[in-house]
Structure 1
Amino acid sequence: MTDGATPAIPAGWYPDPSGTGGLRWWDGNAWTDHVAPDAPTAPPAPPYDAGPPYLAAPPYGGAPPYGAAPPYGAAPPYGAAPEASVPDGTPVSTVWIWLVVFLPLLNLLGLLAVNPSTLFPTDFGFVGGDPLVPYRLMTIDPWFFVLSALSYVALGAVVWFSYLDYAALGRLGYPRRFHWAWSFIALVLTPLVYPIGRSVVVHRQSGRGYGPMWAAIGVAVVSFVIAALWAVWLIIAAFEFTAAITPS
């Protein structure tokens, strides 16, 4: 059995019972004269600062989708040369290109040398009952053959002048030129190919130079209209001739 005695208080520093606010030494049996100031109370620790919230990366799919960059081909391909150009004020025309443009008008001269009224005459009489008289009266102006030959010479000159224009553009400093050999198409189809191609290439480098192209198109349109009107005149004369030689 226990005797119920109060357990002894171990020796140590305790708050001074006299109320000094300091500490006094307890030797285990009684208070001693040894005192000490009370230990300063540590200031409370500041609350935990979590700092700015962690910036999470955008969720999957929030970033630009694959392929959002410019598609292939939007940038100039590797090794592509910059667009060629010439200094401002560089001439865009030569005397040779204007000869190329207007020489095809000579083709009309051979056409206009033929008068359908003389080709198909209607004022004749049957001499001695000869039915071939109307056909013997059909005549063609000799200048038709001369001018027709000159028209072919003019087409050959178109090729030569195209070459001279090509060379002149090189001397003017054009790094890119429409090749003069395209003018050979004038011998079989149309003389428009070189003036149009040449004007487009010159315009890309100088910002000007469409004049020869529009002039060549205008010459082609005028030539077509005159040839069409002449063809109508020829058809009318042929019908009148046929009616004149047909016995009524």
Structure 2
Amino acid sequence: MSQTDGQGGTAAGWYDDPAGSGGLRWWDGSRWSDHVQPAQQAAPPQPAAGQYAYPAAPAYGSHAGTEPRRVDPGTPVYGPFIWIITLLPALSLLLLPLSFTGFEDMMRYEMQSGGTGYGMSGGLSGGALLAQSAATLFGWLIYGAGVVLAFFDRKWLLARGFDRPFHWAFAFIPAPVYPIGRSIVVRRRSGRGIAPMWVSIGLLALSLIIGIAVTVWIFSITIGMMNSLDYGSFSS
């Protein structure tokens, strides 16, 4: 026995049984008692007087030590809002030609002006300016609609018993974060509901392909205009 109390005596507690039983015997501070218990069932050490025993912190990602509950089988997982959110990028792709209306005229004007500026219209006609402005406006409307619809989609999930669904604020990220995250969380709660994620990934891949094609198109018309003007030949 090596623990001592504040007065030099051995503190009360469970210690190796001096009788050789292999267990622990209770020492009450002045003498051995008749209480014996196996060594593996020893009580955890108690904090000394004046010390505070801090509770163990919950594991990262846990919520009050509980796992999210699963919904009942047959609970709907697809609502109208998630499909609109998922397909909004397709609408953006359809509006892409408006963003490049008059692009060749703008490039020609820039090259002919020697890079001194675009002027008021940048060589664009009134119709081209209107088309590009409409594309910008629709782009912001689509972005805002995605955020609003994500808010209502989360309420839709909560109303059907989904515990802590994916937060709607992730819709502020332009990439398809909300449909993908929402699908993963719903899948964990119900075992279903992964389809919006695959549709979003497919649209993202299509967007990358179209982006590469647009880049090649811009490069080709730029080289063609430079060859037709006084920038030298790039065809050789």
Indicate the TM-score class for this superposition, using the shorter chain for normalisation.
Answer: 0.5 to 0.7
1:94 lines up with 2:67 in the alignment: no
Deviation at 1:138, TM superposition (A): 4.4
1:173 lines up with 2:161 in the alignment: yes
Q: Whose relative contact order is higher, 1 or 2, with alpha carbons under 8 Å and at least 6 apart? A: 1
State the match for 1:103 in structure 2: 88
Say whether the 8 Å CA contact 2:147–2:171 is kept in structure 1: yes
Closer, same or farther: CA 132–179 of 1 in aligned 2, 3 Å: closer
Pairing 1:142-181 to 2, within 5 Å after superposition? 142-181=130-169
Give % identity.
31
Deviation at 1:119, TM superposition (A): 4.1
Distance 1:99 1:166 in 2: 14
1:193 lines up with 2:177 in the alignment: yes
Deviation at 1:81, TM superposition (A): 2.5
Deviation at 1:149, TM superposition (A): 1.4
Residues 173-208 of structure 1, C-alpha deviations (whole Å, 9 max, x = no match): 11220111111112xxx1x11111111110011101
Deviation at 1:80, TM superposition (A): 3.7
Distance 1:175 1:162 in 2: 16
Give the TM-score, by structure 2 length: 0.60
- Structure 2: unaligned runs, 5 residues or longer: 1-39, 41-61
1:235 lines up with 2:219 in the alignment: yes
Alignment equivalent of 2:198, drawn from 206, 214, 222 = 214
Say whether the 8 Å CA contact 2:171–2:178 is kept in structure 1: yes
Pairing 1:67-78 to 2, within 5 Å after superposition? none
Alignment equivalent of 1:202, drawn from 181, 186, 190 = 186
Say whether the 8 Å CA contact 1:118–1:139 is kept in structure 2: yes
Query: Which amino acid counterpart does residue 229 of structure 2 have in structure 1?
Result: I
Query: Which amino acid counterpart does residue 155 of structure 2 have in structure 1?
Result: A
Alignment equivalent of 1:246, drawn from 224, 230, 233 = 230
Provide the secondary structure at the position in 2 that maps to 1:97. helix
Distance 2:97 2:137 in 1: 14
Query: Which amino acid counterpart does residue 91 of structure 1 have in structure 2?
Result: P
Provide the secondary structure at the position in 1 that maps to 2:184. helix
Closer, same or farther: CA 247–169 of 1 in aligned 2, 3 Å: closer
**Structure exhibiting the larger radius of gyration computed from Cα positions:** 1
- Structure 1: unaligned runs, 5 residues or longer: 1-65, 67-76, 123-130
Aligned residue pairs total 160
Deviation at 1:90, TM superposition (A): 0.8
The root-mean-square deviation of aligned C-alpha atoms, in Å, is: 2.9
Deviation at 1:101, TM superposition (A): 0.9
Provide the secondary structure at the position in 2 that maps to 1:174. coil
Alignment equivalent of 1:184, drawn from 159, 172, 176 = 172
Deviation at 1:82, TM superposition (A): 4.6
Query: Which amino acid counterpart does residue 131 of structure 2 have in structure 1?
Result: W
Say whether the 8 Å CA contact 1:107–1:148 is kept in structure 2: no
Deviation at 1:109, TM superposition (A): 3.8
Deviation at 1:111, TM superposition (A): 2.8
